[in-house]
Amino acid sequence: MDQYTPPGAARSSMKPFLWVGLACFTLGVLIAGYLTMTYQPDLFGIGDDAASVAGSSGDMPATLASPTASPSPEPSASAAAAAVVERVSEQQGGIEQRLAAAEQRLARLDLQAQAASGNAARAEGLLIAFAARRSLARGAELGYLADQLRLRFGDALPNAVDTVVGFSRQPVTLDQLVARLDGLAPKLADPAQQGLVDRIRREVGGLLVIRRESTPSPQPAQRMARARYFLESGRVDKAIEEVRGLPGATNADAWIRDAERYADAQRALDLIETSAVLEPRRLRDSAGTPVEQPSPAG
């Protein structure tokens, strides 16, 4: 016996098949449209647009269509080499200028060093001369100062150096000369110490004397006073002249010789000290090397 199926139940069982069929239809339409657009573009005017675009691209200049058609010019190998050579030359020129400036600075430094060395040698020579004068003033031998005098001033002033060194072997001080002069004073001022001829000449010459008011008195006592004053002030030559004018000057021969030796040594020291400052060529330093630096006083 057939069973009865209600109409609503039959419609609900058909809904899944309808949805599946609708989905398949929609998928087929989409596939057909894609294939049509791909393989037959003229149907929708797409081919005309592509052709127009291709034509317009064909009308464009070759330089725009192909960027590599005309490449920009590149420097040649010779130009690059010339640029490198120019750059190297500029660098070498800068190096040469720096070297020249360095050489000038070194030359100035060398001159300054020579000047300093020369001035130092002159100052040392002057100190040696001062030390020698002080040693002679004390009546002491020069010792190593004699060697320094020969080394530094032997070429410039050999006679002066020999005089100072010889005097140092038998030194006489100024105090000794003054003391000896005082001891000789009675004999020097006594007219009886003169010879007969000298006494007669003296008496005759003293009969009539005309002299200026400023002329020193020839009296023995005045001469002795002046001789002592000159001696104490270091004017030994003037003292010797006064002693030679005394009546008993023959008794002072040894004193006069020593006084002359002392005066010669002082003059030699003066020359050596002056040479230490002004000698332009023949002065030497402690090593015996000639001093090339000109005198600062010149």
Query: For residue 31, what pLDDT is reported?
Result: 78
In the chain, alpha helices (H): 7-39, 46-59, 62-65, 77-138, 144-153, 158-169, 174-189, 196-205, 220-232, 236-244, 253-278
Query: For residue 263, what pLDDT is reported?
Result: 95
Structure tokens given for 251? 């008794």
Say if residue 63 is exposed, middle or buried (CB neighbours under 10 Å; 0-12, 13-18, 19+): exposed
Structure tokens given for 122? 């002159």
Task: Give the pLDDT confidence of 121-166 residue by residue, as tens digits.
Answer: 888 888 999 999 999 999 988 989 999 999 999 988 999 999 999 9
User: Which of 17-21, 193-197, 208-212 tops mean pLDDT?
Assistant: 17-21
Task: Give the pLDDT confidence of 85-132 residue by residue, as tens digits.
Answer: 667 666 655 666 666 666 666 666 555 555 566 678 888 888 999 999
Phi and psi based region of residue 140 (left: phi greater than 0; alpha: psi -120 to 50; beta: remaining): beta
Rounded Cα–Cα distance for residues 196 and 164 (Å): 40
Rounded Cα–Cα distance for residues 161 and 269 (Å): 8
Task: Give the pLDDT confidence of 159-194 residue by residue, as tens digits.
Answer: 999 999 999 999 999 999 999 999 998 888 776 555
* Cβ atoms of 269 and 146 closer than 8 Å: no
Q: How far is CA 71 from CA 63, 67, 77, 253, in A?
A: 10, 8, 17, 119
Whole-number percent of the chain with pLDDT over 70: 55
Say if residue 282 is exposed, middle or buried (CB neighbours under 10 Å; 0-12, 13-18, 19+): middle
Spell 226-253 as b/e; 16+ CB within 10 A means b: bbbebbeeeebebbbebbeebbbbebbe
Task: Give the pLDDT confidence of 14-23 residue by residue, as tens digits.
Answer: 666 677 777 7
Rounded Cα–Cα distance for residues 29 and 246 (Å): 166
CB within 8 Å of 135: residues ≥ 6 apart? 141, 142, 143, 145, 168
* Cβ atoms of 182 and 243 closer than 8 Å: no
Q: How far is CA 174 from CA 9, 87, 178, in A?
A: 166, 81, 6
Rounded Cα–Cα distance for residues 288 and 283 (Å): 9
